[in-house]
Amino acid sequence: MLGRPGPLHKAAPAGAQKGVECPPAAHQDGVMASRLHTLTVTEAEAGLRLDVYLTRHLGLSRRAAQRLLEGQQVRVEGRTASKGLALQAGWKVEVESFSEEGQEKVAEYQGPELEILGEGSGWVAVDKPAGMPVHPLSEGERDTALNFVASRFAGIMGVGEGGLRSGVVHRLDVDTSGILLFALEEKMWKQLRAAFSAHRTEKVYQAVVHGRLERPVKVEFDLRIARHKPAKVEVKPLGEGGKGCRTCATALKPLEVFRRATLVEARPVSGFLHQIRATLAHMGHPLLGDRLYGPPDDPVPVQRHLLHASLLRIDDILLESSLPEDFERVLERL
């Protein structure tokens, strides 16, 4: 078998009735919401999608309106509704008070302490555990990586996109663990975003995949987003992707080959949603635990897709993260 490297060295820490205005309603987290805005659909507006209606009346972007709907902050005729609902004349649309896009407040963090992998002038990196989102989708969420960072570095608020995405430089899937970098200052956010956009970064992931990947290989495929909710990516041979596709390259190297699985190092040259997961699945080596791209069963029981961001280098910033315990337990059983 090929040798698996030892632990990586870590960087030094541094319910409404129709037509009636409702009293304040309690969110799930116990925070009281402000009174409702009540709107009435006119004859001219009949047939509009709910999200389009909200953008016109509230001056929001389509995405901001969708976040209100996802957070169940909108009711039509007293009931929560989906963005695609076609409105009828005379219907009452009730919207909880909200912050303007980019001005939302991040709630106090209430999760476990995260390890700070490194920090410097205008930036900080944390070791994100599997199961934790990068940032909240609504002001009531308290258990995301951004909530943690904002609780310790209050100056992050308003940086970059601001609001619920303040300081976010890049993203990891919810069940992907490992290095997550945030910008604490606007100048650094622009610098880091430019580096990611220009592919001036080195990103290394470790994954456990189905089957035996015997030799190193660099692959290129055309990827496109085939579905948005839940998100899913389609992979096509190079040159066959057509409109909406992006060519994405990934270097793969087996670190340890087991009887029915392989520990793989993955280095994505580009950056695309689900790039590593979708690429490996297309090659016949889906990640263990990946129920979106892989089979329903695995050689050993796993609780999430086994993908870990283990190294990130940008300019003079170098960050490393060791494999988490759940990852190591699976390797011991293979």
Q: Render each residue's pLDDT in the chain as its tens digit; 334 residues.
A: 444 544 443 343 343 333 323 333 333 332 333 456 788 999 888 999 998 888 888 777 777 788 788 878 899 998 888 888 999 999 999 988 665 555 667 889 988 999 999 999 999 999 999 999 999 988 888 999 999 999 999 999 999 988 889 999 999 999 999 999 999 999 999 999 999 999 899 999 999 999 999 999 999 999 999 988 789 999 999 988 788 899 999 999 999 999 999 999 999 998 899 999 999 999 999 999 999 999 999 999 999 999 999 999 999 999 999 999 999 999 999 9
Q: What is the pLDDT of residue 67?
A: 77
Domains and their CATH numbers in the chain: 36-96 (3.10.290.10), 116-197 (3.30.2350.10), 201-333 (3.30.2350.10)
Q: What is the pLDDT of residue 99?
A: 59
CA distance 182 to 180: 7
CA 332 to chain centre: 29
Closest residue by Cα to residue 207 from 285, 144, 137, 126: 285
Closest residue by Cα to residue 181 from 133, 124, 129, 132: 124
Closest residue by Cα to residue 39 from 82, 2, 76, 69: 76
CA distance 236 to 166: 34
262 neighbors 9 (Cβ within 8 angstroms): no
Residue 173 is among the residues annotated as catalytic for this protein? yes
**Catalytic one of 51, 173, 222, 298:** 173
